[in-house]
């Protein structure tokens, strides 16, 4: 990418044929051709250049989805990017592409709860074994590797608890043992971390979050290197996991302001984190404390931090924690994040999953905050009045 990230997002994919700043939405189930010879020539081109956007059927995509794939491929600095109907669709596609019955996979303990259910429970029915490792003790990863281990699946930072891992060490172990690697990079996006560039084989982003940025679309992306491209392409074709053109258009439009929005999310989050860090009842789960291991691991690999953070609140009265959350007036209550608005969620055990390495005491409670694009002074004032309910 010759231009800077910021400039590229503003000037890519203009449609001079239709004299449109954004590419048009092309909806198609049947891809029509002028003749059978034209159809066959297109199929030959697709075989010679499988990432070139040559389609003979709508399930493979249209020009609208292809443009989004090209943009994301450049942002990720990857060989190719596949797009799926949801972020979790990309998680499934990554695992389904490379793991088979009899294989084993290693998964970071604080993964997204549905990812845990997929790997720990669902894959068991297909004779695929999952082991979980401690993100802060990679000896637990290395000791769990066997001759059957095919994939190491990382989520960084960890879901809800925001554990930052030594990504370089994980990659080094995997390459030494000839094991494939995948990472869920939704929190950072390639704006703050480019996983393929540092050595991962696959990189997942839920496009529902910051790519879209407006809480009105669902989608996912799976960036890959050349090594795993063919495996993922075959799996994508078999499963039919393909993003639709209308969602692709909205995500492309959202990407135009990705840098502007993430810069503001980050700026606002830092100000809120600075305020929360002064409260003795709260342990801030965000790369703010410079003496923490999480901060060191974040600083080592990331160029910035997004707007999603966690709070570990110490209280013997869970009702006061719920009261704190329910008293927030500028924070919506709901799942997902990455939109322009701030959100709050009191985390129940089912939402963190049955973790092996999370030591959460009975008087400790998790609250997740997404810091949106509002005036940070208003958000801090709102949090301040709500904190009065903590006991």
Q: What is the spatial distance between Cα 347 and Cα 276, in angstroms, rounded to a whole number?
A: 18
The mean pLDDT of the chain is 94
Q: What is the spatial distance between Cα 212 and Cα 50, in angstroms, rounded to a whole number?
A: 27
Tens of pLDDT along 209-228? 999 999 999 999 999 999 99
The pLDDT value recorded for residue 353 is: 77
Tens of pLDDT along 135-160? 999 999 999 999 999 999 999 999 99
- Residues 202 and 232 sit within 8 Å (Cβ to Cβ): yes
Two tokens, residue 247: 């969602």
Question: What domains are defined for the chain?
Answer: 5-255 (3.40.640.10), 258-387 (3.90.1150.10)
Q: How confident is the model at residue 208 (pLDDT cuts 50, 70, 90)?
A: very high
- Residues 93 and 80 sit within 8 Å (Cβ to Cβ): no
Region at 90 (left for phi over 0; alpha for psi -120 to 50; beta for the rest)? alpha
Which CA distances in Å does 232 have to 108, 221, 227?
A: 22, 12, 10
- Residues 245 and 62 sit within 8 Å (Cβ to Cβ): yes
- Residues 245 and 25 sit within 8 Å (Cβ to Cβ): yes
Region at 181 (left for phi over 0; alpha for psi -120 to 50; beta for the rest)? beta
Q: What is the spatial distance between Cα 265 and Cα 370, in angstroms, rounded to a whole number?
A: 9
In the predicted structure, residue 193 carries a pLDDT above the cut 80: yes
Tens of pLDDT along 108-118? 999 999 999 99
Q: Comparing 164 with 11, which gets the higher pLDDT? A: 164
In the predicted structure, residue 56 carries a pLDDT above the cut 70: yes
Given the DSSP bridges, would you call strands 80-84 and 202-206 parallel, antiparallel or unpaired?
Answer: unpaired
Residues in the chain: 391
The pLDDT value recorded for residue 391 is: 86
Global confidence as pTM: 0.94
Q: How confident is the model at residue 2 (pLDDT cuts 50, 70, 90)?
A: low
| Contacts of 82 by beta carbon, 8 Å cutoff, 6+ apart | 69, 90, 93, 221, 222, 224, 232, 233, 236, 241
Nearest to 148 by CA among 115, 184, 204, 105: 105
The percentage of residues in the chain with a pLDDT greater than 70, rounded to a whole number, is: 98
Two tokens, residue 81: 């990017």
Q: How confident is the model at residue 351 (pLDDT cuts 50, 70, 90)?
A: confident
In the predicted structure, residue 20 carries a pLDDT above the cut 90: no
HEC sequence for the chain = CCCCHHHHHHHCCCECCCCECCCCCCCCCCCCCCCHHHHHHHHHHHHHCCCCCCCCCHHHCCHHHHHHHHHHHHHHCCCEEEEECCHHHHHHHHHHHHCCCCCEEEEECCCCHHHHHHHHHHHHHHCCEEEEECCCCCHHHHCCCCCCEEEEEEECCCCCCCCCCCHHHHHHHHHHHCCEEEEECCCCHHHHCCHHHHCCCEEEEECCCCCCCCCCCCCEEEEECHHHHHHHHHHHHHHCCCCCHHHHHHHHHHHCCHHHHHHHHHHHHHHHHHHHCCCCCEEEECCCCCCCHHHHHHHHHCCCCCCEEEEEEECCCHHHHHHHHHCCCCCEECCCCCCCCCEEEEECHHHHCCCCCCCCCCCEEEEEEECCCCCHHHHHHHHHHHHCCCC
In the predicted structure, residue 363 carries a pLDDT above the cut 80: yes
Q: How confident is the model at residue 349 (pLDDT cuts 50, 70, 90)?
A: confident
Tens of pLDDT along 79-109? 999 999 999 999 999 999 999 999 999 999 9
Two tokens, residue 99: 């793991």
CA atoms 343, 8, 184, 362: torsion sign: negative
The pLDDT value recorded for residue 220 is: 98
Cα-to-chain-centroid distance, residue 116: 15
| Contacts of 33 by beta carbon, 8 Å cutoff, 6+ apart | 39, 42, 56
The percentage of residues in the chain with a pLDDT greater than 90, rounded to a whole number, is: 86
């Amino acid at each position: 990418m010759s231009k800077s990230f910021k400039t590229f997002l503003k000037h890519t994919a203009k449609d001079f044929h239709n004299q449109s700043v954004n590419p048009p939405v092309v909806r198609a189930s049947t891809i029509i051709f002028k003749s059978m010879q034209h159809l066959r020539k297109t199929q030959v081109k697709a075989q010679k250049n499988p990432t070139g956007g040559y389609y003979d059927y709508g399930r493979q995509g249209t020009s609208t989805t292809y443009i989004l794939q090209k943009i994301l491929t450049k942002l990720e600095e990857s060989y190719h990017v596949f797009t799926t109907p949801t972020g979790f669709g990309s998680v499934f596609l990554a695992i389904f592409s490379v793991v088979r019955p009899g294989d084993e996979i290693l998964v970071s303990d604080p993964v997204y709860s549905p990812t845990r259910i997929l790997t720990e429970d669902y894959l068991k029915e297909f004779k695929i074994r999952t082991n979980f490792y401690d993100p802060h003790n990679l000896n637990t990863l290395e000791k769990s590797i066997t001759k059957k281990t095919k994939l190491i699946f990382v989520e960084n930072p960890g879901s809800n608890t925001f554990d930052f891992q030594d990504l370089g060490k994980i990659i080094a172990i995997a390459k030494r043992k000839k094991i494939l690697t995948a990472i869920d990079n939704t929190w950072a996006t390639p704006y703050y971390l480019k996983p393929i560039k540092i050595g991962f084989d696959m990189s997942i982003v839920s496009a529902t979050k910051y790519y879209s940025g407006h809480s009105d679309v669902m989608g996912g992306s799976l960036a890959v290197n050349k090594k795993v491209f063919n495996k993922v392409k075959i799996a994508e074709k078999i499963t039919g996991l393909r993003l639709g053109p209308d969602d692709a258009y909205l995500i492309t439009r959202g990407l135009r302001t990705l840098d502007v929005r993430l810069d503001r999310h980050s700026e606002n989050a830092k100000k809120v984190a600075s305020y929360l860090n002064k409260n003795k009842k709260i342990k801030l789960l965000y790369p703010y404390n410079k003496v923490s291991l999480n901060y060191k691991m974040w600083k080592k690999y990331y160029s910035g931090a997004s707007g999603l953070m966690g709070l570990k609140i110490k209280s013997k009265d869970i009702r006061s924690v719920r009261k704190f959350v329910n008293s927030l007036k500028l924070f919506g209550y709901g799942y997902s994040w990455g939109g322009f608005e701030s959100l709050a969620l009191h985390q129940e055990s089912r939402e963190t999953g049955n973790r092996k390495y999370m030591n959460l005491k009975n008087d400790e409670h998790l609250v997740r905050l997404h810091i949106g694009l509002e005036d940070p002074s208003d958000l801090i004032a709102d949090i301040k009045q709500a904190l009065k309910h903590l006991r």
